[in-house]
Amino acid sequence: METVSTNRSHGGEQGVYRHRSTATGTEMTFSVFVPDHAAGAKLPVLWYLSGLTCTHANVTEKGEYRAACAEHGIVFIAPDTSPRGPQVPDVEAWDFGQGAGFYVDATQEPWSANYRMRSYVEGELPDLIAGIFPVDLERQGITGHSMGGHGALTISLRNPGRFRSTSAFAPIVSPLACPWGEKALGGYLGPDRSAWQEYDACALVEGGARLPDLLIDQGSADTFVSEQLKTELLREACDRAGQPATIRLQAGYDHSYYFISTFMAEHVEWHAERLKA
């Protein structure tokens, strides 16, 4: 692993790192914030999965998480959203291909060689992190934005017990039921929609997956809510299944980091209560 940059911030260290991924067959970049801590301490971890078009850099620069993570003693990790590079298959669109990995393991050519973000985020990156940073992987939380909210919800629902806390900002709650999801899962996984189920938070909840609770914030002025995000589908699925969920509609907020940064400190605190309980 190579260190791209480190900057002292909020009493801790914000780093950006690069490594060769076996899951994706590419160089992958990610960021880690480690707050000030006692020598030898192992800190709880909050994973943040980013949305379409983003890299690690968007939340690292605009997410406003460091003050809260420093206060609560939480390591914050932000992976990239897809494999990247001139040798990685891509299309012109911003909602498929590079920048749009959807946290799946692709099964269709030409995507299956590199687009394995599920294996990367669920397996390879935690293993790498555990050996290098002062983290306690018995105390992990996960969150994300939009496509990354979809990633956070589905990864947590598929791995019961692994994350003590799960939240999301404006998540895509059902790729089976929106154009972004149809395009991405159809492309990466092929036309058999039964293969999409494990990548759909609503379908996972309906199929019996359970988490202790969920926190979701959704802006009322988010232009993607009615066609793509469809928060109500998750609310209905949770209600039907008896899955506890706090789903808040935040009046006037849009889909941007101006929204995310507003509620980031509350999410970090919510995770901290569960990670440090």
**Residue 11 found at the interface with its own copies (CB under 8 A):** yes
Can you give the three-state secondary structure of the chain, one letter per residue?
A: CEEEEEEEECCEEEEEEEEECCCCCCEEEEEEEECCCCCCCCEEEEEEECCCCCCHHHHHHHCCCHHHHHHHCCEEEEECCCCCCCCCCCCCCCCCECCECCCCECCCCCHHHCCEHHHHHHHHHHHHHHHHCCEEEEEEEEEEECHHHHHHHHHHHHCCCCCCEEEEECCCCCHHHCHHHHHHHHHHHCCCHHHHHHHCHHHHHHCCCCCCCCEEEEECCCCCHHHHHCHHHHHHHHHHHCCCCEEEEECCCCCCHHHHHHHHHHHHHHHHHHHCC
- Determine how many CB atoms are found less than 10 A away from the CB of residue 246: 12
207, 258, 273, 276: which one contacts its own copies (CB under 8 A)?
Answer: 258
- Rounded to the nearest whole angstrom, what is the least distance from the CB of residue 11 to its own copies in the complex? 7
Is 167 among the catalytic positions? no
Stretch that binds its own copies, among 73-81, 87-95, 187-195, 248-256 (CB under 8 A): 248-256
47, 103, 180, 253: which one contacts its own copies (CB under 8 A)?
Answer: 253
**Residue 243 found at the interface with its own copies (CB under 8 A):** no
- Rounded to the nearest whole angstrom, what is the least distance from the CB of residue 39 to its own copies in the complex? 16
Nearer to its own copies, 198 or 254 (CB): 254
Is 254 among the catalytic positions? no
The single residue of 56, 72, 145, 255 carrying the catalytic annotation is: 255
Nearer to its own copies, 62 or 162 (CB): 62
- Rounded to the nearest whole angstrom, what is the least distance from the CB of residue 18 to its own copies in the complex? 19
Nearer to its own copies, 97 or 219 (CB): 219
**Residue 137 found at the interface with its own copies (CB under 8 A):** no
Provide CB contacts within 8 A for 111, sequence distance 6+. Answer: 89, 187, 188
Q: Are 102 and 175 in contact (CB under 8 A)?
A: yes
27, 64, 182, 236: which one contacts its own copies (CB under 8 A)?
Answer: 64
Nearer to its own copies, 105 or 217 (CB): 217
Alpha carbon of residue 236 to chain centroid: 22
Site residues (CB under 8 A) for its own copies, limited to 65-104:
66-67
Q: Are 140 and 240 in contact (CB under 8 A)?
A: no
Q: How far apart are CA 54 and CA 46, in angstroms?
A: 18
- Rounded to the nearest whole angstrom, what is the least distance from the CB of residue 63 to its own copies in the complex? 10
Site track 188-227 with its own copies (rule: CB under 8 A), x = hit: -------------------------------x-x------
4, 7, 132, 246: which one contacts its own copies (CB under 8 A)?
Answer: 7
Nearer to its own copies, 15 or 181 (CB): 15
Is 222 among the catalytic positions? yes
Residues annotated catalytic, as ranges: 146, 222, 255
Residues that bind its own copies (CB under 8 A): 7-11, 14, 61-62, 64, 66-67, 219, 221, 252-254, 256-259, 261-262, 265
